[in-house]
């Protein structure tokens, strides 16, 4: 018997046929209205849900689907999925840890280079017929701090160390024993020791405003911030204030608090580089993401362990 998957995501459409070819029936509901309509009409048919961290799945939605057995989250973050409600029903939750790590790491280095070398403004002024040869900082040899050294953080670290001879430091809850990078016991101590701070940690209550005014002050007037994780990890008001008064050299952001709205204050600044939450998106990443979802679904419905389980205690 085929299983029915409610698809709430909107970024992997080209590769959803992989699921259909494997025999899954898909109900696509990428907008809020389509989502509520699909649950209202098909609640008793849905065996699995495909979502992503910011889209999540609420306790009331979980309660409305009596056949729901597994929730697959694309990407590493799952902050808006009600894990307690899922656990209470015995529903398995998986995420996409590592599936788009290469794409996110590539984009991170692109943002970092664009920010430090002032690429966007140089391009814009050249197109206007100007010839502003501004001297910009080198990237090679800088001290890079990474907040969160999971699959994405590690991919960023390897690129920065091998490609740009950067000294790598990081903060995570516990130090890793499989890397030679320098571990710091807090975001504050990490920021104080580096030139560039990259945010690569999951979102959610546990990481809310880890990077606050104090951390930004420690990063300093010659420091740079790059966020490709979740906007909630950074205090946006404190970030804007630091950028406006010059107590932080610049910031490159792929994530925002109220997407797709971007604060006018950030857009008005000349020391920011802004992209529309696309770090994890590439054809290769989308393919690998859907392939991982398929492997998790196939394992689950065959009674085998899933590949990337999310557990309540991991919050």
**Angle of CA points 282, 288, 294, to nearest 5°:** 135
Q: Which of 214, 259, 284, 304 is catalytic?
A: 259
Q: Which of 121, 143, 277, 287 is catalytic?
A: 277
CB 199 within 8 A of CB 233: yes
Return the exposure string of 196-213: e unless at least 16 CB atoms fall within 10 Å of the residue's CB, then b: bbbbbbbbbeebeebbbe
Residues β-bridged to residue 199: 147, 227
Q: Is 259 noted as a catalytic residue in this protein?
A: yes
Chain position carrying tokens 């970024």: 11
Going from the C-alpha of 254 to that of each of 32, 72, 74, 76, 225, the distances in angstroms are: 23, 23, 17, 16, 11
Nearest residue to 76 (alpha-carbon basis) of 310, 311, 313, 312: 310
Q: Is 189 noted as a catalytic residue in this protein?
A: no
Nearest residue to 224 (alpha-carbon basis) of 279, 271, 162, 265: 271
Alpha helices in 25-97, H assignment, sequence order: 32-42, 59-64, 83-89
**CB half-sphere exposure, 39, CA atoms < 13 A:** 20
Rounded CA gap, 52 and 259, in Å? 14
Q: Is 277 noted as a catalytic residue in this protein?
A: yes
**Angle of CA points 116, 117, 123, to nearest 5°:** 130
Which residues form the catalytic set?
230, 259, 277
């Amino acid at each position: 018997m085929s299983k029915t998957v409610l698809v709430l995501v909107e970024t992997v459409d080209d590769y959803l046929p992989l699921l259909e070819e494997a025999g899954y029936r898909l109900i696509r509901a990428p907008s809020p209205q389509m989502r509520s309509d699909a649950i209202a009409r098909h609640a008793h048919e849905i065996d699995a849900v495909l979502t992503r961290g910011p889209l999540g799945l609420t306790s009331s939605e979980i309660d409305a689907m009596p056949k729901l057995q597994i929730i697959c989250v694309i990407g590493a973050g799952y902050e808006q999925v009600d894990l307690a409600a899922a656990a209470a029903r015995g529903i398995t939750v998986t995420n996409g840890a590592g599936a788009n790590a290469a794409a996110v790491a590539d984009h991170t280095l692109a943002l970092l280079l664009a920010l430090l070398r002032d690429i966007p403004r140089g391009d814009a002024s050249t197109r206007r017929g100007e010839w502003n040869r501004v001297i910009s900082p080198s990237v090679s040899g800088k001290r890079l701090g990474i907040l969160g050294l999971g699959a994405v953080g590690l991919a960023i670290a390897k690129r920065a160390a091998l490609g740009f001879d950067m000294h790598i430091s990081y903060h995570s809850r516990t130090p890793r024993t499989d890397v030679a990078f320098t571990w710091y016991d807090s975001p504050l101590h990490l920021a104080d020791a580096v030139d560039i701070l990259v945010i690569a940690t999951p979102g959610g209550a546990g990481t809310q405003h880890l990077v606050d005014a104090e951390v930004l002050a420690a990063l300093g007037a010659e420091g740079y911030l790059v966020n490709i994780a979740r906007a909630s990890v950074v205090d946006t008001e404190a970030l804007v204030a630091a950028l406006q008064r010059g107590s932080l050299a610049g910031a490159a952001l792929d994530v925002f608090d109220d997407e797709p709205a971007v604060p006018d204050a950030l857009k008005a600044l000349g020391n920011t580089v802004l992209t529309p939450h696309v770090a994890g998106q590439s054809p290769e990443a989308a393919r690998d993401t859907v392939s991982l979802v398929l492997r998790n679904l196939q394992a689950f419905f065959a009674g085998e362990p899933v590949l990337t389980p999310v557990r309540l205690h991991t919050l």
